[in-house]
A and B are shown apart, each in its own frame.
Chain A
Amino acid sequence: MKGFDVKVENVSRAYGNFKALDDVSIEIKKGEFFSLLGPSGCGKTTLLRIIAGFDSPDTGIVLLDGKDILPLSPDKRQVNTVFQSYALFPHLSVYENVAFPLRLRKVPHAILDARVKEYLHLVQLEEHIHKKPAKLSGGQKQRVAIARALINEPSVLLLDEPLSALDAKLRQNLLVELDHLHDQIGITFIYVTHDQSEALSISDRIAVMNQGKVLQIGTPYEIYESPATDFVARFIGETNLFPAVVKACIPYEDYYMTTLDIPALGAQIKVTDYDDLPEGQHVSFTVRPEKLKITGDKPTRVGKDINLFKGIVEEPIYSGFQSKYYVSLENETVVKVIQQHANYMDEGPDIDWKDQVYVSWSAEDGYIVEVVDS
């Protein structure tokens, strides 16, 4: 692995009364594709700007390969940035934009020319080298920005929402290309985004941030399947989230079968969890919509760890490969259910508006995401 590891220790940054970063600590490994994910104003861009050198923290340190980089100005750090607005130099051609860092270092012409062409080839822009940025499409501009940031051979590449200005199709393509680039070059990528699907599909690890704090650091799988807090559960993907009270907690194989009383559902449900929670503990319970099974007829085989509810379909939303249903349960709490349409023939009866349906899920598919102190 090339690239450096980045260590952010106890970094805080406030603008007046607004705490942009509140005691943030993150360790990013060598050559990792690491995403900072969160809603706008969560501090992810501030953290990126601190690593790049455009902002400095009030307290805390940032280590690059074990060395403190905070005293260095941006031009002295082995870090380059791909900006959200591309930030191409409007008066220079594509070629000169990419050559800019090398010209500053007075690299001999032959080497410069070879390197620029190599990096333009890497981002597939050989055909447009003499164009000015104003003549390029958004995707092409972003490729120029990426080539320009990589030509200095930085140890860490920072990407500040690089795809947010592009349309959905192009975003998917560029995302795949970014992934290939990362595999080819092997340096550390730090990717800032507010788009959870981007972060999930491309990252080795993700840090989910909100209000200046890091809520959870983990692989996309960990973050999606076992969110640490209810914010993470709601922000990553869609979910059904309810406050609940622990009724019973019985050891079951290598975990605990927990019975929760959920006031919103007016019922008790079963969920497996790794913690032995005391009776009466307030918690948050979540289950992803795609884990719910929706059927027109009552399921015939109901195991003891299946949670089953009767309801009315309030709104079916068909979107090609899947359908989403808003189902109003008996006490009028609405849950979201997502059903994949994998095969044309093996679906059950059409589920339509105002149909009576059964919603069920296994105890293993739900999660207790947050223990609420009260």
Chain B
Amino acid sequence: MTTLNNPKTKRRHKLQPTKLVRPAKGTQGPYKTPKNQVFQDHRHFGFSNIMLVLVVLFLFVPLFVVVIYSFNASKGMRWTGFSLQWYTKLLFDSDQLWRAFANSFIIAISSSVVATILGSLSAVGIKWYKFKSRAYIQVVSFLPMVLPEVIIGISMLIFFTAVKIPLGMFTIFVAHTTFNLPFVFLLVSARLDEFDFSVIEAARDLGATERQTLTKVIVPSIMPGVMSGLLMAITMSLEDFVITFFVSGPGSTTLPLYVYSMIRYGVSPVINALSFVLILGIMILALSFRKFLKTIAASS
């Protein structure tokens, strides 16, 4: 191809590169941080700080009061001296309380384990299989979570009496499993939402059989969701009062029910002692499980 332009007459002026201009000393450059930046302007008695202190006080002062009065020598609200009598009473003279505690514990473990198994399986089923009633099941399974507990409690009571199941440990177990299910379902579903299905194909592709894919890939990667579901279910079951109140029968009093019944006959400082023991126990548990919980939070 011939050059059709005469380079002598058509030559363009070479462009001068643009020079970077540095601001003179003493003058402010264009990119200097503004002085009144939001995070630098952090006053010690600002609104947010005051709110923080108030909220922390509101949350923890009642707990401290309970702990302090558990060491009170007398029953009333007046401080009369240090004593461990309520702890002695709690440990050696509260058979009923410990029976209630044992009931709570049995129900919490059994119902949350069953709810975790059922909830995880249903989350997997809803996620992985497409069927007609899928959307309805998804909505219905959330109902126990959004309905007021009183309504669930009453409806369960009516149901159990209608089918003539005697109220007791078994009915509480059924009720707790029911209201724990949606929480486990939700947590495992959230985990499954991030689950990349090509991971299953990758495992098969790399030589895993179907069983190996299930045990070595699918179960371990949804485990954090399952574990957090289980922990959540145990907590919910241990603290439930309203539903348990409706479906409990003779001999099946759980800890929250027992504490409530004690309060009705005047506040016994044994409850204060029990509170401190529980606070202490949970704090020790939480601290020792901290690393475990952190890994769950990080991987989910």
Dominant secondary structure at the B interface = helix
Q: Which residues of B contact A301 (CB under 8 A)?
A: 2
Does B208 lie within 8 Å of A297, measured CB to CB? Answer: no
**A60 in contact (CB, < 8 A):** no
Q: Which chain A residues have a beta carbon within 8 Å of chain B's beta carbons?
A: 52-54, 73-75, 79-81, 83-85, 87-92, 100-101, 104-105, 132, 134, 148-149, 152, 293, 295-297, 299-301, 344-350
Sample of 25 A–B contacts (CB below 8 Å): A52-B201, A53-B205, A54-B201, A54-B205, A75-B206, A75-B207, A80-B205, A83-B201, A85-B198, A87-B199, A87-B201, A87-B202, A89-B199, A89-B203, A90-B196, A91-B220, A100-B216, A104-B207, A104-B208, A132-B299, A348-B4, A348-B5, A348-B10, A349-B10, A349-B12
Beyond the given pairs A80-B206, A100-B216, A149-B206, 19 more chain A to chain B contacts, judged by CB atoms under 8 angstroms and listed by A's residue number, are: A54-B201, A74-B205, A75-B206, A79-B205, A81-B205, A85-B196, A87-B196, A87-B201, A89-B202, A90-B199, A91-B220, A91-B223, A91-B299, A152-B207, A293-B1, A295-B4, A295-B5, A344-B14, A349-B12
| Known contacts A87-B201, A297-B4, A300-B4; A75/B208 CB under 8 A | yes
**B212 in contact (CB, < 8 A):** yes
What's the Cα separation between A33 and B175 when bound, in Å? 62
Q: Which residues of B contact A297 (CB under 8 A)?
A: 4-5
Does B206 lie within 8 Å of A104, measured CB to CB? Answer: yes
Does B198 lie within 8 Å of A87, measured CB to CB? Answer: yes
What's the Cα separation between A134 and B194 when bound, in Å? 12
Does B3 lie within 8 Å of A52, measured CB to CB? Answer: no
**B7 in contact (CB, < 8 A):** yes
What's the Cα separation between A300 and B1 when bound, in Å? 11
Q: Which residues of B contact A344 (CB under 8 A)?
A: 14
Does B7 lie within 8 Å of A345, measured CB to CB? Answer: yes
Closest to A54 in B: B201
| Known contacts A293-B1, A295-B4; A350/B12 CB under 8 A | yes
**B28 in contact (CB, < 8 A):** no
Residue in A100, A101, A134, A300 with the greatest tally of chain B CB atoms within 10 Å: A100
Does A89 lie within 8 Å of B221, measured CB to CB? Answer: yes
**B127 in contact (CB, < 8 A):** no
Q: Which residues of B contact A100 (CB under 8 A)?
A: 203, 206, 208, 216
**How many residues in B have their beta carbons less than 8 Å from beta carbons of A?**
29
Q: Tell me the number of A-to-B contacts counted with CB atoms below 8 Å.
A: 97
Q: Which residues of A contact B14 (CB under 8 A)?
A: 344
What's the Cα separation between A345 and B11 when bound, in Å? 7
What's the Cα separation between A79 and B204 when bound, in Å? 11
Q: Which residues of A contact B4 (CB under 8 A)?
A: 295, 297, 299-300, 348
Q: Which residues of B contact A101 (CB under 8 A)?
A: 206-207
Closest to A49 in B: B201
**B209 in contact (CB, < 8 A):** yes
Q: Which A-B residue pairs are the 7 nearest by beta carbons?
A: A348-B5, A87-B202, A87-B198, A101-B206, A74-B204, A91-B220, A83-B198
**B217 in contact (CB, < 8 A):** yes
Does A52 lie within 8 Å of B199, measured CB to CB? Answer: no
Q: How far is the CB of B213 from chain A (nearest CB, A)?
A: 9
Does A349 lie within 8 Å of B198, measured CB to CB? Answer: no
Q: How far is the CB of A180 from chain B (nearest CB, A)?
A: 23
Q: In chain B, residues 3-37, which have Cβ atoms closer than 8 Å to a Cβ of chain A? A: 3-5, 7, 10-12, 14
Does B206 lie within 8 Å of A134, measured CB to CB? Answer: no
Q: Which residues of B contact A347 (CB under 8 A)?
A: 5, 12
Q: Which residues of A contact B207 (CB under 8 A)?
A: 75, 101, 104-105, 152
B202 touches which of A81, A104, A134, A346 (Cβ 8 Å): A81
Q: Which residues of B contact A152 (CB under 8 A)?
A: 206-207
| Known contacts A104-B206, A104-B208, A295-B4; A89/B217 CB under 8 A | yes
Q: Which residues of A contact B204 (CB under 8 A)?
A: 53-54, 73-75
Closest to A105 in B: B207
Q: How far is the CB of B189 from chain A (nearest CB, A)?
A: 16
- CB-defined interface of B220-242 with A at 8 Å, one 1/0 digit per residue? 11010000000000000000000
| Known contacts A105-B207, A148-B206, A345-B7; A134/B299 CB under 8 A | yes
What's the Cα separation between A367 and B183 when bound, in Å? 66
Q: How far is the CB of A292 from chain B (nearest CB, A)?
A: 11
Q: Which residues of A contact B223 (CB under 8 A)?
A: 91
What's the Cα separation between A345 and B196 when bound, in Å? 55
Q: Which residues of A contact B216 (CB under 8 A)?
A: 100, 104
Does B5 lie within 8 Å of A74, measured CB to CB? Answer: no
- CB-defined interface of B171-201 with A at 8 Å, one 1/0 digit per residue? 0000000000000000000000000101101
Q: Which residues of A contact B209 (CB under 8 A)?
A: 75
What's the Cα separation between A152 and B204 when bound, in Å? 13
